[in-house]
Amino acid sequence: MVSVVLPAYNEADNIELAVSEISKTLSGTGEEYELVFISDGSSDGTYEKIQAASAADPHVKGAEFSRNFGKEAAIFAGLSLASGDAVIVMDCDLQHPVSVLPEMIEKWKAGAEVVEGIKNSRGREGIFHKLSAGLFYGIMSRLIKIDMSSSSDFKLLDRKAVDALLELPESNTFFRALTFWIGFRSEKVFYDVEERRNGSSKWTTKGLIKYAISNATSFSTLPLKLITTMGWIFIIFAVVLGIQTLFRYFGGTSADGFTTVILLLLIIGGFMMLSLGIAGHYIARIYEEVKGRPRFIIRDTTESLTGNLKGQWK
Ligand code: UDP
Ligand code: MG
């Protein structure tokens, strides 16, 4: 059986459309399937739509969070609740084209354990969004040594890969990169991002920046190592400058450089605080992990899903 996991935050207008389009495509492949919608604390009646769809069609299942926990949480809740031999994760605004699902399933049947959806084009988006996404993926790709620039959350995972993901103990997850990290035999399918069918994107610039920082630091300790590098550069600089200053002092030609002193103080002060901030950020992450709070809280599920949670989320 193939499960399709669909995170949905205020997508009431897209549920019926998603159900009909995905069902049509999947029944065409002859596979058994289920659709698992995770309503991420929606306030526009998304969950009611899911319940209605579920009552009309037993393939449709769904759960509702107690509040908005974010897309990552919704994806992992879906992975945990899905019971298929393969699980496909896709957006329920249908920006991930339904038409590539058969190709994904074929690649899985041919032996791929992870099928990555790779964007041919990023679709229509603002220039600022494009630039910041480019910067983010540039840095991320360098940090985790995987080219992520055109990867997305649109993926098919074999049961083995799903279980491996669900066993990861951390609560700060970054799905897009974790599927590379767990390894397995991976294949790609290419797709064009489609226009959003209804409603608008849920991302704000501030939200994206927070998401970028949290993902970069949850995946790499490189920023911490950069602080050490910066420290070494300053120490070498200090030794050279120190020797030169002493020479001048004893030679009686020492410069009265008040400006230099102020500049040095400000520069070093700035770097110190920045370093403290970076270290502090990691401490905050440790604090969050140590608290061990659940990543999401489920308020209600459709009857067909009760008691299905797997992995570290059970
Ligand atoms: N989403 C979610 N929780 C959130 C924000 C978004 O589950 O807090 C879902 C949303 O319903 C959609 C998918 O994540 O199915 C992608 O969101 P969106 O279309 O807003 O992002 P974009 O496609 O613009 O990157
Ligand atoms: Mg979208």
Q: Which residues pair with 8 in a beta bridge?
A: 39
Same domain, residue pair 299 and 259: no
Same domain, residue pair 194 and 273: no
Residue 141 lies in a domain: no
Q: Tens of pLDDT along 293-305?
A: 888 888 888 877 7
- What pLDDT shows up at residue 144? 63
- Asked if 301 and 81 count as a contact pair (C-beta separation under 8 A), the reply is yes
Atom of ligand 1 nearest to the CA of 10: 11
Residue 136 lies in a domain: no
DSSP secondary structure of 105-143: HHHHHTT-SEEEEEEEE--S--HHHHHHHHHHHHHHHHH
Q: Is the pLDDT score of 35 beyond 90? A: yes
What strands lie across the sheet with 86-89, from one edge to the other?
186-192, 114-121, 151-158, 86-89, 2-8, 33-39, 60-65, 298-301
- Span from the CA of 76 to the centroid of ligand 1 (angstroms): 14
Alpha carbon nearest to ligand 1 atom 23, residue: 201
For ligand 1, pick from 6, 9, 129 the residue to mutate: most ligand atoms within 8 Å of CB.
Answer: 9
- Asked if 20 and 60 count as a contact pair (C-beta separation under 8 A), the reply is no
Give me the number of domains the chain comprises.
Answer: 2
Higher local confidence (pLDDT), 125 or 276: 276
Q: Is 177 exposed, middle or buried (0-12, 13-18, 19+ CB in 10 A)?
A: buried
Q: Is the pLDDT score of 86 beyond 90? A: yes
Q: Who contacts 250 (Cβ-Cβ below 8 Å, separation ≥6)?
A: none
Q: Tens of pLDDT along 96-137?
A: 889 999 999 999 999 989 998 888 866 566 677 777 777 777
Higher local confidence (pLDDT), 147 or 153: 153
- What pLDDT shows up at residue 87? 95
- Span from the CA of 93 to the centroid of ligand 2 (angstroms): 6
- Residues of the chain above pLDDT 70, percent: 92
Same domain, residue pair 278 and 300: no
For ligand 1, pick from 19, 66, 91 the residue to mutate: most ligand atoms within 8 Å of CB.
Answer: 91
We report the CATH number of the domain holding residue 302 as: 3.90.550.10
- Asked if 119 and 152 count as a contact pair (C-beta separation under 8 A), the reply is yes
pTM for the full predicted model: 0.79
For ligand 1, pick from 39, 50, 71 the residue to mutate: most ligand atoms within 8 Å of CB.
Answer: 71
Q: Which ligand is nearest to the CA of 18?
A: 1
Residue 143 lies in a domain: no
Same domain, residue pair 86 and 55: yes
Question: What DSSP state is assigned to residue 196?
Answer: P
Per-residue pLDDT band for 257 (boundaries 50, 70, 90) equals confident
Atom of ligand 1 nearest to the CA of 6: 15
- Pocket of ligand 1 from Cβ distances under 6 Å: 7-9, 11, 40, 68, 70-71, 74, 91-93, 95, 201-203
User: Minimal CA–CA distance to 15: which of 41, 32, 33, 36?
Assistant: 36
Q: Which ligand is nearest to the CA of 76?
A: 1
- Span from the CA of 119 to the centroid of ligand 2 (angstroms): 13
Q: Who contacts 79 (Cβ-Cβ below 8 Å, separation ≥6)?
A: 5, 87, 89, 157, 162, 165, 166, 311
Residue 180 lies in a domain: yes
Higher local confidence (pLDDT), 10 or 215: 10
CA distance 295 to 4: 21
Neighbouring C-beta atoms of residue 117, cutoff 10 Å: 24
Atom of ligand 1 nearest to the CA of 7: 7
Looking at residue 187, its amino acid is E
Residue 165 lies in a domain: yes
Q: Is the pLDDT score of 202 beyond 90? A: no
- Span from the CA of 175 to the centroid of ligand 1 (angstroms): 14
Q: Tens of pLDDT along 204-224?
A: 777 777 777 777 777 777 788
Residue 210 lies in a domain: no
Q: Who contacts 203 (Cβ-Cβ below 8 Å, separation ≥6)?
A: 211
Residue 177 lies in a domain: yes
Same domain, residue pair 48 and 102: yes
Domain with 118, as residue range(s), is 2-125+150-200+295-308
Residue 90 lies in a domain: yes
Atom of ligand 1 nearest to the CA of 8: 11
User: Minimal CA–CA distance to 38: which of 2, 90, 86?
Assistant: 90
- Span from the CA of 91 to the centroid of ligand 2 (angstroms): 6
Same domain, residue pair 275 and 303: no
Same domain, residue pair 242 and 304: no
Same domain, residue pair 56 and 180: yes
Same domain, residue pair 281 and 266: yes
Same domain, residue pair 258 and 299: no
Pairing of strands 114-121, 33-39: unpaired
User: Minimal CA–CA distance to 296: which of 312, 285, 307?
Assistant: 312
Same domain, residue pair 264 and 166: no
- Span from the CA of 10 to the centroid of ligand 2 (angstroms): 12
Atom of ligand 1 nearest to the CA of 202: 20
Same domain, residue pair 112 and 160: yes
User: Six-digit token pair at 8?
Assistant: 């949905």
Alpha carbon nearest to ligand 1 atom 18, residue: 201
